[in-house]
Amino acid sequence: MTTLEVRDLVKDFPHRSGLRRTTLRAVDRVSFTLVPGRTVALVGASGSGKSTVARMIARLERPTAGTVTATGPDGRPVSGRAYRDHVQMVFQDPFASLNPFHTVEHHLVRPLLLHGRAAGRADARGAAARLLERVNLPPDLAGRRPHELSGGQRQRVAIARALAPGARVVVADEPVSMLDVSIRLGVLNLLARLQREDGLAVLYITHDLATARHFSDDVLVMRGGRVVERGPADDVILSPRHPYTRLLAAAAPDPEARGRPRAAPAADGGALDAGGLSYDHRAGRWTGPDGTPAPAPAGVPDG
Please state, as a whole number, how many other Cβ atoms lie within 10 Å of the Cβ of residue 160: 24
To the question of pTM greater than 0.85 for the whole model, the response is yes
Query: Which domains, from first to last, does the chain contain?
Result: 3-294 (3.40.50.300)
Confidence of residue 75 (pLDDT cuts 50, 70, 90): confident
Widest CA span of the chain, in angstroms? 66
The answer to whether residues 52 and 27 touch, using CB atoms and an 8 Å cutoff, is: yes
Confidence of residue 303 (pLDDT cuts 50, 70, 90): low
φ, ψ at 87 (rounded to 5°): -125, 125
How many percent of the chain have pLDDT more than 70? 92
Residue 156's H or E segment, with its range, is helix 151-163
The stretch 17-35 carries a mean pLDDT of: 90
The stretch 176-183 carries a mean pLDDT of: 85
How many percent of the chain have pLDDT more than 90? 66
pLDDT of residue 259: 57
The stretch 256-280 carries a mean pLDDT of: 67
Q: What is the mean pLDDT of the chain?
A: 89
Look at residue 223 and give its three-state secondary structure: strand
The CA distance from 195 to 189, in Å, is 10
Predicted confidence (pLDDT) at residue 77 exceeds the cutoff of 80: yes
User: How many Cα atoms occupy the beta-carbon half-sphere of 247 within 13 Å?
Assistant: 19
pLDDT tens sequence across 111-138: 999 998 888 999 999 999 999 999 999 9
Look at residue 89 and give its three-state secondary structure: strand
Higher pLDDT, 113 or 296: 113
pLDDT of residue 93: 87
The CA distance from 297 to 303, in Å, is 13
Confidence of residue 265 (pLDDT cuts 50, 70, 90): low
Q: Helix 121-134 vs helix 104-114: angle between axes, to the nearest 10 degrees?
A: 120
pLDDT of residue 236: 94
